[in-house]
Amino acid sequence: MTKQITIKLNHKQFRPLLDKLQEFAGLGLTESDSDTVGKSLFLCYQSLIQRNPNRDNKTHFEILIENVGIDRAQAMIYFLNNYSEFKKKGLPKNGK
């Protein structure tokens, strides 16, 4: 057996989030919650770190914030505020 990383998430908070991600991906795209989290982490890596040589060697994140008209610091503050709100209240009732 290969060495594993154990990540424990609060069921009440994260089950709806995992369900939304699995619903978005479509039935059968992920094998388990761990697979969903692994794919989500890789999406973060691909979006935030990996550079696209066909787009001026920018990351997807850099392209996105450029189009929105904010800088990295503003985007991080927005994310951290939203994450803090999620940690307190969970997903919004409308799921958006």
- Burial-class residue 10 by CB neighbours within 10 Å (0-12, 13-18, 19+): exposed
Residue 64 is given by DSSP the state H
pLDDT tens digits, one per residue of 5-36? 999 999 999 999 999 999 888 888 888 999 99
pLDDT tens digits, one per residue of 44-79? 999 999 999 998 999 999 999 999 999 999 999 999
- Tell me the C-alpha distance between 59 and 56, whole Å: 9
* pLDDT level of residue 87 (50, 70, 90 thresholds): very high
* pLDDT level of residue 96 (50, 70, 90 thresholds): low
pLDDT at 25: 86
